[in-house]
Amino acid sequence: MTTLQVAATSIVMMLVLIGLRVPIGVAMGGVAFLGLWYLRNFNVALSVLRDTPFVFAANWDLSAIPMFLLMGAIAANCGIGAALFRAAYAWFGSLPGGLAVATNWACAGFGAASGSSIAAAAVMARLAVPEMIKNKYDRALATGVCASGGTLDALIPPSILFVVYGVFAEVSIAKLLLAGILPGLLTAGVYMAMIVIRCWLNPELGPPVKFASDDEKWKERWASLREVWPILVLIVAVMGGLYWGVVSPTESGAVGALVAILIGLGQRKLTWRGFIDSFKDAIGTTAQLFFIGIGAVIYTKFLALSGSGVLFTELVGSWAVHPLLLVIAVSLIYIVLGMFLDPLGMILLTIPVFVPMFTALDLDLVWFGVLVVKFIGIGLLTPPVGFNIYVVSGALNNTVPLQTIFRGCYWFLACEVVVMTLLIAFPQISLWLPNSMN
């Protein structure tokens, strides 16, 4: 077999293993090990397997990941997710589809305290879906907004995917984190418009919440704000420090984790058990992400050795003479890859190929990073893999069929077409904040 045939065979093998529920890191790393053995020899494959875990884990910039995860875990154990949902419920509940709108903005707010899309989807599914079903909301809409809203966490800082992209694309992580704010808010705004319009046209999808009186409504709204001030403090501590150049991205993660601990203790909501559970959650998720990352790096090395980079270049190369054509070609490839690959695998597989192309055309790599993370978010909703769909299903103990959740996400994927068109047509949506930072 030619090297490219070997690479194509490896992709098929990897997808089969993932379909058999083999852990993604094991599937990628195992297939890559066999591929390296076939292309070179056993010693080369063993050398890559031996060296890659240390080289990957020893990268200092990646230490921001466990810090951001710890901050998110502490925030979740202090009930910030529930407080956000109550506040969003009070302010948006009276709109058509108000509970779904509230869930959407609660996901956006949770993104400021967590860097994990999966965590946001799971937390909001447990909090919001039972409430929406009790209020006779369409199940597809109720579950679809949780799965889709979870992807906002990938954009709104702190974002683990931006950290990984920044490390491997050699782009300022601080600028990337700031660049995700406006696109994240834009996405949440487009989601909200779609929900309100659909539920206004068909009230049976999501009837508005009825408050006893205007006085009660405003009383509940002002009371709810007293519970969400920790999010504002975390935003100032993390993003304010980055914007004014006071802390580095890694230091901002540590500052955010410390501030979350102090807030939890000050509110007397962080128990010793919750503190230990937060560390366990952060350590476990970090281990899972690093395990996937190590497997993805080994697989990327195998693909580089097989010449698959040439294949990507040939697929995209004829489009790379014009910036818009290049963006369209890359977009199509990310949409296809998102149907099958893990987010970390997508980044590590494509960055070495696409970054030089964007650099050659003098396109902004911070803007490209926003597009990459958006496409990864879209991949979390597209079949057959659609990680967030399975997360929501698992959080609800499989009480809602997968096809119902997928059906609920189709409207949000249509919204993503609008958002991606705006981000590609107007790069300053992504670049204004990072270009204005100190």
pLDDT at position 311 is 63
Alpha carbon 218 to chain centroid, angstroms: 34
pLDDT at position 14 is 78
pLDDT digits (tens, 9 = 90+) for 285-311: 788 778 878 888 888 788 777 766 666
Give mean pLDDT, residues 198-225.
78
* DSSP letter, residue 238: I
For residues 300-325, one letter each, b for 16 or more C-beta atoms within 10 angstroms of the residue's C-beta and e for the rest, the string is bbbbebbebbebbbeebeebbeeeee
pLDDT at position 312 is 64
Query: What confidence category does residue 418 fall into, taking pLDDT thresholds of 50, 70 and 90?
Result: very high
pLDDT digits (tens, 9 = 90+) for 334-352: 888 887 777 877 887 788 7
pLDDT at position 197 is 93
Query: What confidence category does residue 371 fall into, taking pLDDT thresholds of 50, 70 and 90?
Result: very high
Please give the Cα distance from 137 to 123 (Å, whole number): 19
Query: What confidence category does residue 3 fall into, taking pLDDT thresholds of 50, 70 and 90?
Result: low
pLDDT at position 90 is 81
Count how many residues are written for the chain: 438
Query: What confidence category does residue 320 fall into, taking pLDDT thresholds of 50, 70 and 90?
Result: low
Please give the Cα distance from 156 to 30 (Å, whole number): 33
pLDDT at position 317 is 61
Q: Could you tell me the two tokens for 36?
A: 């390296």
Please give the Cα distance from 216 to 213 (Å, whole number): 5
Whether pLDDT at 366 is above 80? yes
pLDDT at position 193 is 94
Whether pLDDT at 277 is above 80? yes
Whether pLDDT at 81 is above 90? no
Give the Å distances, CA to CA, from 81 to 75, 182, 216, 402. 8, 21, 23, 24
What's the chain's average pLDDT?
82
Give mean pLDDT, residues 216-228.
74
Give mean pLDDT, residues 312-322.
65
97: nearest Cα among 193, 218, 189, 228: 193
In the three-class reduction of DSSP (H, G, I as helix; E, B as strand; rest coil), residue 382 is classed as coil
Whether pLDDT at 419 is above 90? yes
Query: What confidence category does residue 416 fall into, taking pLDDT thresholds of 50, 70 and 90?
Result: very high
Alpha carbon 209 to chain centroid, angstroms: 30
92: nearest Cα among 211, 201, 229, 233: 211
Whole domain around residue 87: which residue ranges? Answer: 3-436
Lowest-confidence segment of 23-32, 56-65, 107-116 by average pLDDT? 107-116
pLDDT digits (tens, 9 = 90+) for 160-197: 888 889 888 888 888 898 899 999 999 999 999 999 99
Please give the Cα distance from 109 to 122 (Å, whole number): 15
Q: What's the number of domains the chain is made of?
A: 1
